[in-house]
Structure 1
Amino acid sequence: MTTAHADVEDRSDLEGSTTVEGTLLVGREFEPIEGRVVLEEGQIAAIEEASVESDAIVLPAFVNAHTHIGDSIAKEAGEGLSLDELVAPPDGLKHRLLEAADPETMVAAMRRSLGYMTSTGTGAFIEFREGGVEGVELIREALDGSPMEPVVLGRETIEAMRETDGFGASGARDGEFSSVREATREAGKLFGIHAGERDSDDVNPALDLDPSFLVHMTHVRDLHLDRLEDRSIPVVICPRSNLVTDVGVPPIRELAERTTVALGTDNVMLNSPSMFREMAFASKLSGVPAATVLRMATINGAEIAGLNCGLIEEGRDARLLVLDGGSDNLEGVTDVRRAVVRRAGHGDVSRVIL
């Protein structure tokens, strides 16, 4: 039986080697094979196909490609409010709550969300961090001692960008971002921007900035799909968040046919940062193959962020999620990939190796 809280292991300083056995979801198609993964010095050293005595299911740890962890101070706040009333800068509810919160409360709340994320199999995330340089300092404090691999994008100021891995823009309708985009490009860092969340009016202006990736794209037209494909610009979708804010849902299948698509859980205010829930929702909403959804939850986000994780493949970082295939929920599944995407959850997690 699986315990309520999975073991989270930091293997980055591992001396010698260790193995993880079970049904391995290997490569970009997450092909299930019976065998073991050999880990050495924090990396996957070998994948061995063999008969093993284990009902574990081993897959890459998730990459949550869009979060606002600071919202952890106000979970489920703002019921019935519109998207603008909830999150639009500078006077949306979340921004007022963030402004009023003391640093200690912010850090403690973020630590709790980060702990939940690791215990549910997330090994890395891309954070849009409000609050300028001070906000960056707060999330660094919250991350102290965490095995999570963060990719933090500063917001609001060029100084915040320079202190982080890049810049996370709110959206082309909210301001003029050409100067910060140029500064981010010169720094060789990531530039992500919200687009197409309320309507399609801000999609072309966002694409004109030549971003590293776009977030949401709930409302897209054929012209936008053509531009995405022509320029190979990835998209991070957050379908549960879009449903909660009543802006519709993204055309997941159409986007996945044209460009790289990753999954994010968006504001902790609106949804738990569970990639299991996001995968199940996206899969059932779109009907795309389970392997496609698994790529959205792992390697696609890793590649957007420039991380060396997201696949069970030799040379990748040893960031793995181990599920109890003999749990009451997973015992007897006939399609392992589909079960991981649509059925598995927190209670099935037995180990998280980061």
Structure 2
Amino acid sequence: MIVEGTILTGRDFEPVQGRVVVEDGEITAIEEADVDNSNVILPAFVNAHTHIGDSIAKEAGAGLSLDELVAPPDGLKHRLLRAASHAAKVEAMRRSLRLMQSTGTATCLEFREGGVDGVEAIREAADELAIDPVVLGRETAAAMRESDGFGASGARDSEFGDLRAETREAGKLFGIHAGERDPHDVDPALDLDPEFVVHMVHPEPEHLDRIEAEDVPIVVCPRSNLVTGVGVPPVRDLLDRTTVALGTDNVMLNSPSMFREMEFVSKLTDASATEILRMATLNGAEIAGLNYGVIEPDREAKLLILDGDSDNLAGAQDLVRAVVRRAGQADVKDVLL
């Protein structure tokens, strides 16, 4: 396969006109050449934090607090999930996965409620789709063993020491929520030596020092944090300390479109367009141990092709900035997964 256009190459997304050569699903070469099309070729997105089970309840619970919305076991989300049929949950998740795929997302790091049954449900939802979610089971060790790791709710009121040890022994990912409402659960979460921490809206200076010293990646979900009223993560401070990736969090609260999340972050913070596109691609891939998220030889060819001559993108002087701040689903020409 040969894909031609303006290619956003490497970690800095340097625009190069030419072609991406793909063999057996792997990028074998990037060749500079004059090409006669308006394609913009970039890495497919990695949505580094999702909860798509609550796709059955989009925009439910307006005005509720974070705990009232999503806290286990009786937050609104969990009550609605218990009330929904297996078939309804699978179909709703399939729709969200299909939307992510159509908007250029290669994978999502899904914190999957429902134990083993929940893991099996998302596998069923993803069957026959090209998007391949990284599933982190929750609640039980059995769910961890049936999935790609364990997604902990948080260390505020729960003990995860045994599950952390079992996850490490299994050689799988361990992620945990922390610092979402306040800073009090940050140290207990970091004490578990997680592969990554989600949210980190309220780190204290000593937490930032520890995150940097221990090289702990952080996944931020700014739209979700704003909707639930907990604040906005200090994206600049985190970027200066560690690897930061981007997630869309609960489908109940937000569309799982990385275009929308990137635009929001770009207009809310002083992070550069290059940093934000890296947060939406390579950084999430590296957290999950995936060999894509960047266009360079010997990487898997997970690619998003945009129409640079769409009414929305035509005339863009800075392609990376245009992708981050204004591109959307209508500009997508193809998604190669």
TM-score band w.r.t. shorter chain: over 0.9
- Matched with 1:76 is 59
- Matched with 1:15 is none
CA distance in 2 between counterparts of 1:181 and 1:343 reads 40
Give the AA of the match of 1:97.
Answer: L
Superposed CA deviations along residues 219-256 of structure 1, whole A, max 9, x for unmatched, are 01110110110010100000000000000000001100
Give the AA of the match of 1:287.
Answer: D
- Matched with 2:214 is 231
Question: What is the aligned counterpart of 1:159 among 136, 142, 145?
Answer: 142
Question: What is the aligned counterpart of 2:256 among 254, 266, 273?
Answer: 273
Give the AA of the match of 2:295.
Answer: I
CA distance in 1 between counterparts of 2:118 and 2:313 reads 40
- Alignment: residue pair count: 337
Question: What is the aligned counterpart of 1:208 among 191, 197, 206?
Answer: 191
- Matched with 1:295 is 278
CA RMSD of aligned residues (A): 0.6
- Matched with 1:241 is 224
CA distance in 1 between counterparts of 2:39 and 2:32 reads 14
Matched, 1:120 2:123: no
Superposed CA deviations along residues 65-85 of structure 1, whole A, max 9, x for unmatched, are 000010100000000000000
Give the drift of 1:287. 1.7
Give the drift of 1:149. 2.1
Give the AA of the match of 1:156.
Answer: E
Give the drift of 1:125. 1.1
- How do 1:1-354 residues align onto structure 2 when only pairs under 5 Å count? 18-354=1-337
Residue pair 1:158, 1:183 contacting (<8 A) in 2 also: yes
Residue pair 1:89, 1:174 contacting (<8 A) in 2 also: no
Give the drift of 1:209. 0.7
SS of 1:332's equivalent in the other structure is: coil
TM-score (norm 1): 0.95
Superposed CA deviations along residues 12-54 of structure 1, whole A, max 9, x for unmatched, are xxxxxx1111110000000011111011111111100111101
CA distance in 2 between counterparts of 1:113 and 1:143 reads 10
Give the AA of the match of 1:167.
Answer: F
Identity %: 70
CA distance in 1 between counterparts of 2:85 and 2:28 reads 45
CA distance in 1 between counterparts of 2:242 and 2:268 reads 18
CA distance in 1 between counterparts of 2:210 and 2:329 reads 38
CA distance in 2 between counterparts of 1:267 and 1:260 reads 22
Residue pair 1:64, 1:264 contacting (<8 A) in 2 also: yes
Give the drift of 1:174. 3.2
CA distance in 1 between counterparts of 2:145 and 2:106 reads 24
SS of 2:184's equivalent in the other structure is: coil
Give the drift of 1:124. 1.0
Give the AA of the match of 2:268.
Answer: L
Residue pair 1:217, 1:237 contacting (<8 A) in 2 also: yes
Superposed CA deviations along residues 297-331 of structure 1, whole A, max 9, x for unmatched, are 00000000011110001011110000000000000
CA distance in 2 between counterparts of 1:144 and 1:174 reads 35
Runs (4+) of structure 1 moved beyond 6 Å? Answer: none
CA distance in 1 between counterparts of 2:287 and 2:296 reads 18
SS of 2:34's equivalent in the other structure is: coil
CA distance in 2 between counterparts of 1:192 and 1:283 reads 25
Structure 2: unaligned runs, 5 residues or longer: none
Superposed CA deviations along residues 127-165 of structure 1, whole A, max 9, x for unmatched, are 000000011111111011111122100000011001111
Structure 1: unaligned runs, 5 residues or longer: 1-17
Question: Which stretch shifts more, 143-152 or 54-63?
Answer: 143-152
Residue pair 2:126, 2:132 contacting (<8 A) in 1 also: no
Superposed CA deviations along residues 177-204 of structure 1, whole A, max 9, x for unmatched, are 1111111111111100000000011001
TM-score (norm 2): 0.99
SS of 2:202's equivalent in the other structure is: coil
SS of 1:167's equivalent in the other structure is: strand
Give the drift of 1:285. 1.1
